[in-house]
Chain A
Amino acid sequence: MPAVLAAVIALAPIWYLIDRAVSRGLIEVVDELWRRRTLDLVLRSLALCAAVTAITAVIGVTAAWLVVRSDLPGRAALRILLALPLAIPSYLAAFAWVSWRPQLAGFGGAVLVLSLVSYPFVYLPAAAALRHIDPAQEEVARSLGRGRIHTAVGLTFRQIKPAVTAGSLLVALYVLSDFGAVAAMRYESFTWVIYGAYRAGFNPSRAAILALTLVLIALVLVVAEGRVRGRADTARVGSGTARAATPVRLGRATPVAYLFVAVVLGAGVGFPIYRVVHWVTAYQSTSVGLDSVAAALFETLRLSILASVAVVLLAVPVGVLAVRYRGRTSAAIERSTFVAHALPGIVVAIALVFVGVRILRPFYLETPLLVLGYVVLCLPLAVAAVRTSVELSSVRVEEVARSLGCTPRAVAWRVTTPLALPGIAVGAALVFLTTMKELPITLVLHPTGVETLATRLWAATSVSDYAAAGPYALALVIFGAIPTALLTGAVTSRSEPAR
């Protein structure tokens, strides 16, 4: 039942979008798509996607290898620091750069900013994959006469390839759906043009048609990634656990490694924070009252907590069902995480505007519809997190509990839930972080008179009032860093489940 509800929530907006797009007939749709402008738009978005995906793959894999497999001093702390760009909203980073060098605006700036904020999508899964490779395989390769580099390329990187492709897909989808950075960099990609068409108001079906096109491109990427990824054929004989790998000695390459990490962290985290602090101190943001910052912070926290609770309440039953009752739909559920990543915030926002106007009129521009938007956006993230942790509690363990006198309900309470709790917490933190940073949905659907940190920051920076932007940006970075640190800790230090 909750699963059906979740499916309805995810699919209803799309249905309204289609309805809206074809409202003036199919001819109109074809005309719109065949315009030169639309083709340019597609090419511009794909170019941005390709550039950022390539760069993040290199940064992500290198960073992962350095903190997991090398003897880089301080790698334990770097492991968490390198995930911190997740906490920096893309529009904040973009404003930090263009306010410093306005000529960065455009393709170059967009590539720079998006690469710096999205490489953790590759870094985190690559690090996890590297940690799980049995070093004995590499040792065997070496003993069979393969050189160190030959082994790394032929064996190690082949084994982490599925993780890296999956991460790269996330990056590509992130770039396609990102609104803040391209808007700040004034790079005419899909999301910005859709927002423009929506704001212009006179042609809502153009916005809907472009939004659907964007979703289609994203879906094509998802399917293509499934083909490229292939299957990680892993086989292990015996039940012994893998030894931890001996760290590779960097030797004289250590300074180079440090330089790499310093550049990535400096540009990705240090520089935006420096600019934010600079805005606050240099302009002495007197124009902004502390009370309006506090009010925006309160609204942000309120909405994020509401969204986290709503999403978790829906995600737990869906995640449990997905694991325990695998049917023909299991593959679809597997992919649904990615499919929903393919649903950009701006698309969700515009779809919900139509839903709001058509059937949820009383909630239009009210909190419930905004939270619904967050739920549509974040549900798949939370479902994935819950599913992973429900899988930890194996059927075997639950059967033992049954044989010890527990009813199925008692098993759910005494075994499944405690085991899934860390995963649920991770899911909630993820939703919290995403909704805090979220811009397009908030921008389009926020209730009249309610301002969040994101909308305040957006309003101030779009008129280049960096003095006013400073305090909001600072609050956003600080409160975004907390869930990020928790999340990274949870992901990178997850211990082996006891058997």
Chain B
Amino acid sequence: MAGERVKPALEVCGLTKSFGTHWVLDGIDLVVLRGSVTAILGPSGGGKTTLLRIIAGFEVPDAGTVMIDGSTVASPSENVPPERRRVGVVPQEGALFPHLDVAGNVGFGLPRNSERNDRIDHVLDLVGLPGVRRMRPHQLSGGQQHRVALARALAPRPSIVVLDEPFASLDAGLRAQVRDEVLAALEGANTTALIVTHDQQEALSVADQVAVLLDGRIAQCADPVTLYEAPASLDLATFVGEAIVLDGEVEGETVRCGLGILDLRDSSGLPGAGRVRVVVRPEQIEIPSAGRAVAGTVLSRVFYGHDGLVRIDLGDGSIVTARVQAGRLPEPGATVALCVRGPVSAFVDSRSS
């Protein structure tokens, strides 16, 4: 996706910010390439919004720099005011101007000239809302308000658009639909976007690159597949996606645990032998199966429609959860054979060391 020559739309270096004695951001490094969508994923109250507000220029960092399109907008020596940063902001609740109609909102950041009207129509088309020009914000649904807020941010052709928990205030049914529309609009505008979210599914499905913000630091920044399949730490493995964590022993390229002897995805960084924590994703477990199998007793199951989760007691004190296709769900109490598909990750057991 990225060539060497592409200048990043956003570059954040060593950014720190504290409120009182509480370090909200503790040395953030982040690069967002032009035309890409990056998600900042982290638990609520983890400093994601603060990062976004520093990028937009609403907060001043304690240390570190922010560069947009190659020019520094925030550093210890200077701080460019928000109106000269070309950062489009879409706040969580939309924050439309209640005294203006949709056209007034979308055109707010545009100069008064002949192109203004065309531009308003164009971005409204882009977000899939033609024909709402004369409506007032309170006449729009939550999802519509949100798209108008996005159109407003896109209208002046910003270098980067930042969206704060864009879909959190929408109900579940609407969320997926609005998410698709927003993504299509971002793609249509060929804009660089930074999306802050606490919803891992959202982050994984929307972004080209996901940066996980834990305890004020970027714990890992990678494409969604890498982040999910090869998390950099046990914390990340359990934070992103569902994970079964088992005790295990490294044996060269493999690891022995309650689910048998499994292949390691990457054994570098692990000791040649010794106790580790093994992470298996529920969908890696297969029932029934042939080959290297271990037996277990089904404790309970939860049916989701397209698939279901089955809790299985391995008999050695550990309980695993398997994601099984609908129609193949075993009854509670049944004895099943399990095997693990694909390589797994393992981490040095920090509890024993």
B95 touches A397 (CB 8 A): yes
CB distance from B92 to the nearest CB of A (A): 8
A400 touches B95 (CB 8 A): yes
A397-B156 CB under 8 A given contacts A403-B56, A403-B85, A405-B109:
no
Can you name the residue of chain B whose Cβ is closest to the Cβ of A238? Answer: B171
Can you name the residue of chain A whose Cβ is closest to the Cβ of B88? Answer: A403
Can you name the residue of chain B whose Cβ is closest to the Cβ of A415? Answer: B97
Contact residue among A392, A403, A498 (Cβ-Cβ distance under 8 Å from B82): A403
Contact residue among A404, A407, A415, A496 (Cβ-Cβ distance under 8 Å from B109): A404
CB distance from A241 to the nearest CB of B (A): 10
A499 to B138, CA, bound (A): 8
B99 touches A418 (CB 8 A): yes
Does A394 interact with chain B (Cβ within 8 Å)? Answer: yes
Chain A residues numbered 483-499 whose CB sits less than 8 Å from any CB in chain B: 495-499
CB distance from B26 to the nearest CB of A (A): 24
Provide the residues of chain B in CB contact with A404, threshold 8 Å.
Answer: 83, 88, 108-109, 152-153, 156
A498 touches B96 (CB 8 A): yes
Can you name the residue of chain B whose Cβ is closest to the Cβ of A420? Answer: B99
A499 touches B81 (CB 8 A): no
Provide the residues of chain A in CB contact with B83, threshold 8 Å.
Answer: 402-407, 410
CB distance from A284 to the nearest CB of B (A): 52
CB distance from A421 to the nearest CB of B (A): 8
B145 touches A499 (CB 8 A): yes
A419 to B145, CA, bound (A): 18
Does B89 interact with chain A (Cβ within 8 Å)? Answer: yes
Can you name the residue of chain B whose Cβ is closest to the Cβ of A401? Answer: B108
Q: B65-101 interface mask toward A, CB cutoff 8 Å, 1 = contact, 0 = none?
A: 0000000000000000111110111010111111100
Does A234 interact with chain B (Cβ within 8 Å)? Answer: no
Does B57 interact with chain A (Cβ within 8 Å)? Answer: yes
CB distance from A364 to the nearest CB of B (A): 44
Provide the residues of chain A in CB contact with B88, threshold 8 Å.
Answer: 403-404
A403-B87 CB under 8 A given contacts A496-B138, A499-B93:
yes
CB distance from B268 to the nearest CB of A (A): 44
Provide the residues of chain B in CB contact with A496, threshold 8 Å.
Answer: 138
A498 to B138, CA, bound (A): 5
Provide the residues of chain B in CB contact with A407, threshold 8 Å.
Answer: 81, 83
CB distance from A349 to the nearest CB of B (A): 40
Provide the residues of chain B in CB contact with A495, threshold 8 Å.
Answer: 138
A396 to B95, CA, bound (A): 6
A183 to B254, CA, bound (A): 98
CB distance from A411 to the nearest CB of B (A): 9
Contact residue among B56, B136, B138, B149 (Cβ-Cβ distance under 8 Å from A399): B56
A403-B57 CB under 8 A given contacts A498-B98, A498-B136, A499-B145:
yes
Does A239 interact with chain B (Cβ within 8 Å)? Answer: yes
A250 to B108, CA, bound (A): 50
A415 to B83, CA, bound (A): 14
Find the residue from A396, A397, A404, A414 having the highest chain B CB count within 10 A: A404
Chain A residues numbered 266-283 whose CB sits less than 8 Å from any CB in chain B: none
Can you name the residue of chain B whose Cβ is closest to the Cβ of A240? Answer: B171
Does B169 interact with chain A (Cβ within 8 Å)? Answer: yes
Can you name the residue of chain B whose Cβ is closest to the Cβ of A403? Answer: B89
B138 touches A400 (CB 8 A): no
A394 touches B95 (CB 8 A): yes
Does B23 interact with chain A (Cβ within 8 Å)? Answer: no
Provide the residues of chain B in CB contact with A415, threshold 8 Å.
Answer: 97, 99
B169 touches A239 (CB 8 A): yes
A399 touches B82 (CB 8 A): yes
B57 touches A402 (CB 8 A): yes
A403 to B136, CA, bound (A): 22
Can you name the residue of chain B whose Cβ is closest to the Cβ of A421? Answer: B99
Chain B residues numbered 17-74 whose CB sits less than 8 Å from any CB in chain A: 56-58
A402 touches B81 (CB 8 A): yes
Provide the residues of chain B in CB contact with A392, threshold 8 Å.
Answer: 98
Provide the residues of chain A in CB contact with B87, threshold 8 Å.
Answer: 403
Provide the residues of chain B in CB contact with A410, threshold 8 Å.
Answer: 83
Provide the residues of chain A in CB contact with B96, threshold 8 Å.
Answer: 397, 498-499
A415 to B95, CA, bound (A): 12
CB distance from B86 to the nearest CB of A (A): 8
A499 to B152, CA, bound (A): 15
Find the residue from A396, A401, A403, A415 having the highest chain B CB count within 10 A: A403
CB distance from A489 to the nearest CB of B (A): 18
A396-B93 CB under 8 A given contacts A403-B82, A403-B88:
yes
Can you name the residue of chain A whose Cβ is closest to the Cβ of B85? Answer: A403
A407 to B83, CA, bound (A): 6
Chain A residues numbered 399-457 whose CB sits less than 8 Å from any CB in chain B: 399-407, 410, 414-415, 418-419
A497 to B136, CA, bound (A): 11
A407 to B109, CA, bound (A): 11
A497 touches B91 (CB 8 A): no
A399 to B88, CA, bound (A): 11
Does B137 interact with chain A (Cβ within 8 Å)? Answer: yes
A496 to B93, CA, bound (A): 15
CB distance from B15 to the nearest CB of A (A): 18
Provide the residues of chain B in CB contact with A497, threshold 8 Å.
Answer: 98
Provide the residues of chain A in CB contact with B93, threshold 8 Å.
Answer: 396, 499
A355 to B108, CA, bound (A): 50
B58 touches A498 (CB 8 A): no
B91 touches A400 (CB 8 A): yes
A396 touches B91 (CB 8 A): yes
A414 to B83, CA, bound (A): 14
Contact residue among B58, B145, B169 (Cβ-Cβ distance under 8 Å from A402): B58
A396 to B82, CA, bound (A): 13
Provide the residues of chain A in CB contact with B153, threshold 8 Å.
Answer: 400, 403-404
CB distance from B232 to the nearest CB of A (A): 33
A495 to B89, CA, bound (A): 26
User: Using a CB–CB distance below 8 Å, which chain A residues touch chain B?
Assistant: 239, 392, 394, 396-397, 399-407, 410, 414-415, 418-419, 495-499
Across the A-B interface, the 7 shortest Cβ-Cβ residue pairs: A404-B109, A498-B137, A498-B98, A402-B82, A403-B89, A498-B138, A396-B95
A–B complex contacts, Cβ < 8 Å, 22 sampled: A239-B169, A394-B95, A397-B97, A400-B89, A400-B91, A400-B95, A400-B152, A403-B56, A403-B89, A404-B88, A405-B156, A406-B108, A410-B83, A418-B99, A496-B138, A497-B98, A498-B96, A498-B137, A499-B94, A499-B96, A499-B137, A499-B145
User: 14 extra interchain contacts, Cβ-Cβ under 8 A, other than A406-B109, A497-B98?
Assistant: A396-B91, A397-B95, A397-B97, A402-B82, A403-B88, A403-B89, A403-B153, A404-B108, A404-B152, A405-B84, A407-B83, A418-B99, A496-B138, A499-B145
